[in-house]
Copies of this chain bind each other. A is one copy, B any other.
Amino acid sequence: MSNLKGRGHCQSCQIRHLSIFAQLPMDRLIEIQAFQPSVVTYSADETVYYQGDASLNAFTLRKGLVKLIKTLPNGRTQIVRVLRTGDLFGFDGFAGESYNHTAIPLSEIEVCRLPLQDLTELKKQNAEIENTMMKRWIQHLREAEDMMLELGAKKAAERLASFLIRWCENNNGGWVPLPLSRAEVGELLGLTIETVSRFLSDWKRQGFLNEQRGSIQLENVDGLRKAVCANGSC
């Protein structure tokens, strides 16, 4: 089961600089110290919330990765986003809606559970929070648009290549953890396990990348790009 680890204190929070409270000045933090959201852990086989549940809490991811998925009645699944440390999720309640997707950890995670009611208050009283949240929504919308382009206009190899390149950017040539199974990469990109596996194998053979125990290394990004995105397709 999910496990209440304790109460969070914004002032001492290690990841506050990544959260929606990043821009709050210290005196504000002191003022809101009564606000002590729950810090909760989930293991990889649990679910933070299900699509359709009433959205009473938002969450800030503190440790680990989370996938947000949508599932068709027939079982086909789409990962709509992968969250990283500091990301806010589960805020559909702000629009009076229930959760639009299911949130599942990709590993053991730790989140800060923020009751929407409290968050609404804080947001009202602190323009910085409001502002940071707005910027994030716009940013997410942009990423969603980018993803629609990936899914709608690119072929399998192009999608996979640009996903890997994005995943590994800012890390040029080094090893990057990729804690997604082949199935999950497939669900993210609208491909099957086999297709993902085949391309990765190909590219390993051609020396574009290496892989080891859930980590990946892009050895030759330009080569990969040239091989896959010949005509400027990614």
Give the contacting residue for A141; candidates B74, B141, B154; CB below 8 A.
Answer: B141
For the complex formed by this chain, how many copies does it contain in all?
A: 2
CB-contacts of A168-195 with B (<8 A): 187-190
Docked Cα-Cα span, A61 to B73, in Å, equals 35
In the assembled complex, A100 has its CB within 8 A of some CB on chain B: yes
Give the contacting residue for A100; candidates B135, B145, B152; CB below 8 A.
Answer: B145
**Chain B contacts of A232 at CB under 8 A?**
72-74
Docked Cα-Cα span, A229 to B68, in Å, equals 24
The size bracket of the interface on A is 35 or more
Docked Cα-Cα span, A198 to B48, in Å, equals 43
Interface, chain A (partner B; CB < 8 A): 68, 70, 72-74, 76-78, 80-81, 91-92, 94-97, 100-101, 124, 127, 130, 133-135, 137-142, 144-149, 151-154, 187-190, 231-234
Q: Are A148 and B147 in contact (CB under 8 A)?
A: yes
**Chain B contacts of A96 at CB under 8 A?**
135
For residue A31, give the distance in angstroms from its CB to the closest CB of chain B.
20
